[in-house]
């Protein structure tokens, strides 16, 4: 095999507010597990779907 074999996992983390480090870590972990549950969907497809959903607003 030749090429890069990885899957991009994009997470949106908010640092607004007065969350403790433990709370931030817990929410990030929960978000990462949610993202891993949908890792079989290609990143490009997710971006395409989100863009089309944003047009409907």
pLDDT of residue 50: 81
How far apart CA 49 and CA 8 sit, in angstroms, is: 16
Query: pLDDT per residue over 4-57, tens digit each?
Result: 766 667 788 888 888 899 999 999 999 888 888 877 887 788 788 888 876 655
Q: Phi then psi for 3, rounded to 5 degrees?
A: 125, 175
How far apart CA 14 and CA 33 sit, in angstroms, is: 17
pTM given for the model: 0.55
Sign of the Cα torsion 14, 18, 22, 27 reads: negative
């Amino acid at each position: 095999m030749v090429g890069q074999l990885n899957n991009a996992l994009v997470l949106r983390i908010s640092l607004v507010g007065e969350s403790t480090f433990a709370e931030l870590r817990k929410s990030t972990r929960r978000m990462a597990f949610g993202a891993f549950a949908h890792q079989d969907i290609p990143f490009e497809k997710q971006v395409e779907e989100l863009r089309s959903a944003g047009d409907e607003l």
